[in-house]
Structure 1
């Protein structure tokens, strides 16, 4: 009998956290799934750990040689027997009701091809690192610039992923897939915690292949923007970094007019996103997301400018009415942050430069 869900988990030298990840799936409240585990040429005890479990829902497949994450995931999609595929990583921990809530959502929303969730980020010892406080209605707009969707939280329809050719990039493969899906289908993020996301010394995108992933993201964001603006013109890398909330490259230029140009370019991109037909297009949500993004960027640079430069920046990118709204919103946000100090909304900058 065909299972309702295929839980797809690639494994490569994951012995340290593998048992916890497996048990978090095997103990799900939703039981109608197959657990498709693909070992990608591990040289540690990963395979032995997998084989120590006798649960009949487990299907172990071993690659004859290391294929890499994208090829392994595409292989898993082809092997999956269920219409829904839930991604899982071998170092994360799914909450007991994760599968049930995601299956329920997809069944109730047939136009939706992928549903994800919020996460709690933990370290190798399982200690709390942060919990992102993103609004789920902002995800579609921001997917043009940055991937807020955590790969091991997603459950997607197998046929939809196959229709966009699966994973097509060796790096930032999830970002690429999510954006391609969002062009053709509804996507959604459940605004609740359903997974502990572990950051380790073996994390590909943050440690082992950090430069490759960063370069892939730059290229994808340039392509995303060109898609909406219908031009092949490339933006300065510092602009792309800024839209990803990495402000140091633009900060180092020490040119206020470049910050203004970056923000005005963002306004133009936002307008094009609003004008582009899309299953996820909601004008009100896009406008709210754009306003929040612009205010966040402006607030960062204002803290590092002298008063004349602050005034120049504000009056260049906002109307007087919007300046009042900006400071009112900042006061509200400061009060909210004071009430919830444990939430870290954006990546922290480790270096700061002052303008002269």
Structure 2
């Protein structure tokens, strides 16, 4: 069996509501040399039945005997793949038909890159856009890793985006130990930062993924926890000697963090209001 060029991982837990749409968006890619690994995290809803409804040789389904914590489950999903380039897509998100084609072209052609990300749309439960082309302000094109770290610190949030936006190298993922279980809400950003220890970054101006916001996505308590973790991660990166982030960047990031939080809360508020009307 030949090794595919790209692996797409979908960790799925109680994912019956959106999983079919997510998988359909992946299987509709113009780039066809990929494997699709779905890891069912011991779901008890209709996830398994939905998976049985797909008949595609690129799709492989694995199932955990017991529910694994978030980071462990995401790591296991990646570990079960074979391809040198990896994308993880959450089971309620979507990817544009040319996402793999565009991102594979960039990452495969430049061995000095560790991470490629695209802009993304924010969509509601019905996949109707709430906001288009979000993320990567000042980060499109090729950027040296340290300059990206500085922009992350100055942003006060996550300017690179969620997993569906990203494509990375399996060798770098293994080298940094995968997703770090010490983090929950900034689990993706923590990995992007570690991957940048191994190469540079390319940001794509196209919106090639969609992040779905549902009515139950984040409670007020979870929002506070997310904000606290985001600030803790930013401070840890800003003070890491290997990145030598100037103190001014840390001050700017601390000042901008509340605004980043408010923008995110606004998107979730709009999604909840739309869900209540439907």
TM-score (norm 2): 0.80
Decide which structure has greater strand share.
Answer: 2
Structure 1 position 148 matched with structure 2 position 159:
yes
Q: How far off is 1:211 after superposition?
A: 3.4
Partner of 1:30: helix, strand, or coil? Answer: coil
The match for 2:230 among 214, 217, 224 is 217
Gaps of 5+ in 1: 250-345, 351-356
Partner of 1:14: helix, strand, or coil? Answer: coil
Contact 1:40 1:68 in 2 (8 A): no
Matched with 2:197 is: 183
Contact 1:30 1:97 in 2 (8 A): yes
If asked which structure has higher relative contact order (CA below 8 Å, sep 6+), I would say: 2
Q: How far off is 1:154 after superposition?
A: 0.8
Distance 1:164 1:124 in 2: 34
Q: How far off is 1:48 after superposition?
A: 0.9
Distance 1:45 1:247 in 2: 36
Partner of 2:229: helix, strand, or coil? Answer: helix
Matched with 1:272 is: none
Contact 1:18 1:91 in 2 (8 A): yes
TM-score (norm 1): 0.63
Runs ≥4 residues deviating over 6 A: none
Contact 1:222 1:240 in 2 (8 A): no
The match for 2:177 among 150, 156, 165 is 165
> Cα deviations across residues 271-315 of structure 1 (Å, max 9, x unaligned)?
xxxxxxxxxxxxxxxxxxxxxxxxxxxxxxxxxxxxxxxxxxxxx
1:335-350 correspondence runs (5 A): 346-347=263-264
The match for 2:207 among 186, 190, 193 is 193
User: What is the RMSD computed on CA atoms of the aligned residues?
Assistant: 3.0
Partner of 1:8: helix, strand, or coil? Answer: strand
Gaps of 5+ in 2: 141-146, 268-278
Work out the number of aligned pairs and report it: 250
Matched with 2:239 is: 226
Contact 1:202 1:208 in 2 (8 A): no
Q: Answer with 1 or 2: which has the greater Rg.
A: 1
Decide which structure has greater helix share.
Answer: 1
